[in-house]
């Protein structure tokens, strides 16, 4: 049977629900093209990090001036560098290049910690042709003097400010570390977000036991990580209603993973790790798996299956809440990746 994979995400009409999310693959012209050829319905560019822009600018200026005006023979050590393209400028120009070549929607992504220059960058990305903007709100709430209310207020302020700055669709990529997530998600939407991307993964520090250094190491996701997005998309889909776009990300490695995400209510399933492991062409397999699974289960279209297993529609909504957690802890016979996923 033929299956209609078409979906709507942030008001963008996509040919399938499989989106390549932020990774080095989406940021390079060549791999972005390969992703499109392999069937990606849209691509999200790698995040433009505020720290990256600031650090680069400050470090470059510092090193261009290092040693200057110290010794009569060498009053500086570099040729005159008037202007240079910072991380932000390069991001904008890469977006323009990719956008010029791509026929699928290109979503820009910014990873912000403060309002500051973000408003300007959000506008620049819009002007450069981004079809939508993904704002990655990423914060480790490590300051013991800042309470949850203040933290949330700061995040919402940032979202509102970016919303006010752009007219293109705005998705907010969140971490799961909010104490009252459903409430927070609702307020994010009230601030003007067109959709939520659930969830970003913290690249948590690791230790190198040889050098005893703390290292930042990218750990690719595993399929079990999909459980958390499944939970919250299932919960939020009925709460937020059909007008709010939801994207599942983290742990989508196969067509069946995508199917599950769609079933709990996601509009799109976003992939990174599996593509990094297997290459852009892996998308073809995922899409054919999705088609096959849908066919197996006799779904005709994504529209039909989307949200069919959200919290409001399953027989036991509690399965998505605390009871599910307790049950999992006691079901030792379940596959090991599931139990690992259940430990908070």
Partner 1 sequence: MGIGPMDQQWECLDGNEAAARVAYALSEVISIYPITPASPMAEHCDDWAAARRPNLWGKVPDVVEMQSEGGAAGAMHGALQKGAFATTFTASQGLLLMIPNMFKIAGELTPAVIHVAARTIATHALSIFGDHSDVMHARSTGWAMLAAGSVQEAHDFALVAHAATLRSRVPFMHFFDGFRTSHEINKIAVLGEDDLRALVRDDDVLAFRSRGLTPEAPAVRGTAQNPDVFFQAREASNPFYLALPGIVKEVMDELGERTGRHYGLVDYHGAPDADRVIIVMGSAAGAVEETVDTLVAAGERVGLLRMRLFQPFPTSEILAALPSTVRAIAVLDRTKEPGAVGEPLYLEMVAALAEQMDDDVPPFAVAPRVIGGRYGLSSKEMTPSMIKPIFDELGSDRPKRHFTVGIYDDVTHLSLPIATGFDQPRPTGEVQALFFGLGSDGTVGANKASVKIIGEGTDLFVQGYFVYDSKKSGSVTVSHLRFGPEAIRSTYLIDGADFVACHQFGLLTKVDVLEHAKLGATLLLNSPYGPDEVWERLPGAVRRGLVEKAIDLWIIDAFAVADEVGMGNRINTVMQPCFFRLSGVLPAEEAITRIKESVTKTYAKRGEAVVARNFAAIDRSLERLSRIPLGAPGKAEVIVSPAATDPREFVSRITAALIAGQGDQLPVSALPVDGTFPTGTTKYEKRAIAQQIPVWDAAICIDCGKCAMVCPHATIRMKVFPDSAVDEAPADFKSKEFRSRDLLNHRLTVQVAPDDCTGCGVCVDVCPAKSKTEVGHKAINMEPVEVHRDLERPRWDFFQTIPALDRSLLPHDTVKGSQVLEPLFEFSGACAGCGETPYLKLVSQLFGDRMIVANATGCSSIYGANLPTTPWTVNAQGRGPAWSNSLFEDNAEFGLGMRLALDAQADHARILLTRLASAVGDELVRGLLESTQGTEAEIALQRDRVSRLRERLAGVKGEGRSDAQHLLALAGDLVRYGIWIIGGDGWAYDIGFGGLDHVLSSGRNVNVLVLDTEVYSNTGGQASKATPRAAVAKFAAAGKATGKKDLGAIARAYGNVFVAQVSMGGNDAQTTKALLEAAAWPGPSLVIAYSTCIAHGIDMSKSMTHQKDAVKSGYWPLYRFHPSEIEDGQPFKLDSQAPSIPVADFMATETRFAVLQRTQPERAAELADLAQADADERWRYYEQLASMHRSVPHLGHAGKANPVAGGVSPDERRDEKGADA
Report the interface residues with partner 1, using CB under 8 A: 53-54, 56-58, 60-61, 63-86, 88, 90, 93, 117, 207, 212-214
CB of 32 to partner 1, least distance (A): 16
- Rounded least distance, CB 79 to partner 1, Å: 4
Choice between 93 and 288, CB closer to partner 1: 93
| Nearer Cβ to partner 1 (13/70) | 70
- Report the nearest approach of partner 1 to the CB of residue 209 (Å): 10
∠ at Cα 107 (242, 13), nearest 5°?
45
> Which 8-state DSSP code applies to residue 218?
-
* 41: preceding bond cis by omega (within 30 degrees): no
Q: Minimal distance in Å, beta carbon 162 to partner 1?
A: 17
Cα separation, 122 vs 132, whole angstroms: 10
What 3-state class would DSSP assign to 215?
Answer: strand
Q: Are 46 and 111 in contact (CB under 8 A)?
A: no
Triad 199, 92, 269: Cα angle to 5°: 25
- Residue 49 CA to residue 61 CA, distance in Å, equals 19
Smallest separation (angstroms) from partner 1 to the CB of 123: 14
| CB-nearer residue toward partner 1: 84 or 177 | 84
- Least Å distance, CB 214 to partner 1, is 7
- Using an 8 Å Cβ cutoff, are 172 and 196 in contact? yes
Residue labelled with tokens 């994207």: 247
Question: Cα separation of 110 and 121, whole Å?
Answer: 8
Work out how close the CB of 63 gets to partner 1 at its nearest, in angstroms, rounded to a whole number. 4
> Measured from the CB atom, is 49 or 181 closer to partner 1?
49
Instruction: Give backbone dihedrals phi and psi of 12, rounded to 5 degrees, phi first.
Output: -95, 130
Q: Which of residues 72 and 315 has its CB atom nearest to partner 1 in the complex?
A: 72
Instruction: Kindly tell me which of 31 and 221 has the beta carbon lying closer to partner 1.
Output: 31
Integer angstrom CA distances of residue 139 from 58, 143, 148, 155, 245? 22, 11, 12, 9, 23
Nearest CB to partner 1, comparing residues 213 and 296 = 213
Q: Decide whether 83 or 142 has the Cβ nearer to partner 1.
A: 83
Please report how close the Cβ of residue 90 comes to partner 1 at its closest, in angstroms.
7
Q: Could you tell me which residues are beta bridge partners of residue 112?
A: 137
| Cα separation, 275 vs 262, whole angstroms | 19
């Amino acid at each position: 049977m033929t299956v209609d994979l078409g979906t709507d995400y942030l008001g963008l009409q996509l040919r399938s629900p499989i989106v390549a999310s932020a990774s080095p693959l989406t940021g390079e012209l060549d791999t972005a093209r390969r992703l499109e050829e392999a069937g990606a319905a849209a691509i999200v560019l790698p995040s433009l990090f505020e720290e990256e822009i600031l650090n680069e600018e400050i470090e470059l200026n510092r090193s261009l001036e290092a040693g200057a005006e110290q010794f009569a023979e060498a009053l500086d050590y570099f040729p005159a560098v008037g202007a240079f393209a910072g991380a932000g400028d390069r991001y904008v120009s890469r977006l323009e290049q990719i956008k010029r070549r791509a026929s699928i929607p290109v979503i820009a992504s910014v990873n912000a910690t403060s309002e500051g220059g973000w408003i300007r960058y959000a506008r620049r990305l819009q002007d450069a042709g981004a079809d939508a903007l993904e704002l990655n709100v990423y914060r480790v709430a490590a300051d013991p003097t800042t309470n949850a209310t203040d933290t949330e207020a700061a995040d919402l302020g940032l979202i509102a400010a970016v919303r006010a700055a752009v007219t293109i669709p705005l998705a907010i990529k969140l971490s799961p570390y909010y104490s009252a997530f459903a409430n927070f998600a609702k307020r994010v939407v009230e601030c003007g977000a067109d959709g939520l991307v659930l969830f970003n993964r913290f690249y948590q520090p690791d230790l190198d036991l040889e050098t005893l250094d703390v290292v930042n190491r990218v750990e690719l996701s595993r399929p079990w990580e999909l459980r958390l997005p499944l939970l919250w998309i299932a919960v939020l889909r009925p709460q937020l209603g059909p007008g709010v776009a939801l994207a599942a990300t983290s742990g989508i490695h196969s067509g069946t993973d995508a199917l599950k995400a769609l079933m709990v209510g996601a509009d799109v399933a976003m992939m990174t790790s599996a593509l990094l492991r297997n290459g852009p062409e892996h998308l073809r397999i995922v899409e054919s798996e999705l088609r096959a699974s849908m066919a197996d289960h006799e779904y005709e279209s994504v529209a039909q299956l989307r949200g069919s297993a959200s919290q409001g529609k399953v027989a036991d909504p509690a399965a998505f809440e605390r009871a599910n957690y307790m049950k999992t802890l006691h079901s030792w016979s379940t596959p090991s990746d599931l139990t690992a996923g259940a430990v908070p």
